[in-house]
């Protein structure tokens, strides 16, 4: 059985990283598992929370206008993660790492950025392989049933804390190369020292 009991931002990764704390319980508490290889699909249960008017406006790009949400608001695949559980007996606790991005071309980033506060329902679907020793000492292999799931309500503050840690007071986006080159030419032509000042110059006052 899998149970997600917490989440925190990893402070020293090369890129934004959330770490979920997972409790794993073996159905047979006396059985020794040598290791467990786990794959996890993680989904955002977007239909299982309420949204303010401001959040609804920011989510239009993902789900359309609110009057269509009965058709468009569905579970959204966030990411996949894999990890290996060392040998244990009975119960153990492991870290499930989830690499994140601040790229606003990614649907999950748009979703998290649109939410002001509260919690986001997350669904974890586990699969994989367990390695254990049989009564006769032979190594056995057993698949993890596909119906192994866990739900967790991720505080939005944890996501925002992580992004503030890795991108303090900043955001980033992709541009087509030809658009970037035009922007660079404008910046160079007018002798503007920073990209922020370049964009501010182009925006209406």
**Dihedral angle, C-alpha 22, 27, 28, 30, nearest 10 °:** 20
pLDDT at 103: 87
Whether residue 205 has pLDDT greater than 80 = no
> Rounded to two decimals, what is the model's pTM?
0.84
End-to-end Cα separation, the chain, in angstroms = 57
Distance CA 161, CA 163 (A): 6
**Third-level CATH fold of 2-170:** Immunoglobulin-like (2.60.40)
Whether residue 175 has pLDDT greater than 90 = no
Distance CA 172, CA 200 (A): 15
Pairing of strands 139-155, 32-44: unpaired
Helix, strand, or coil (residue 76): strand
Pairing of strands 91-99, 32-44: unpaired
Average pLDDT over every residue of 183-187: 89
Distance CA 107, CA 60 (A): 12
Whether residue 69 has pLDDT greater than 90 = yes
- The three-point CA angle 116-49-97 to 5° equals 75
The mean predicted confidence, pLDDT, of the chain is 91
What are the boundaries of each domain within the chain? Answer: 2-170, 175-205
Choice among 2-6, 148-152, 156-160, 194-198 with the minimum mean pLDDT: 194-198
- Cα-to-chain-centroid distance, residue 23: 19
| Cβ 103 vs Cβ 172: under 8 Å | yes
């Amino acid at each position: 059985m899998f149970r997600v009991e917490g989440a925190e931002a990893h402070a020293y990764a090369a890129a934004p990283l959330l770490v979920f704390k997972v409790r794993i319980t073996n159905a047979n508490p006396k059985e020794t598992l040598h290791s467990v290889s786990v794959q996890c699909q993680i989904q955002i249960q977007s239909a299982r929370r309420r949204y303010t008017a401001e959040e609804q406006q920011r989510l239009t790009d993902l789900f359309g206008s609110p009057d269509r949400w009965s058709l468009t608001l569905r579970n959204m695949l966030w990411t996949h993660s894999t990890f290996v559980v060392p040998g244990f007996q009975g119960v153990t606790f492991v870290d499930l790492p989830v690499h994140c991005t601040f790229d606003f071309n990614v649907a999950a980033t748009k979703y998290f950025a649109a939410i002001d506060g509260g919690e986001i329902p997350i669904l974890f679907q586990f699969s994989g392989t367990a390695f254990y020793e049989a009564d006769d000492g032979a190594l056995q292999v057993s698949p993890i049933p596909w119906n192994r799931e866990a739900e967790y309500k991720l505080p939005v503050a944890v996501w925002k804390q992580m992004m503030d840690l890795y991108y303090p007071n900043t955001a980033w986006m992709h541009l087509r190369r030809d658009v970037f080159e035009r922007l660079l030419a404008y910046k160079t032509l007018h002798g503007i020292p920073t990209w922020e000042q370049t964009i501010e110059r182009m925006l209406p006052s």
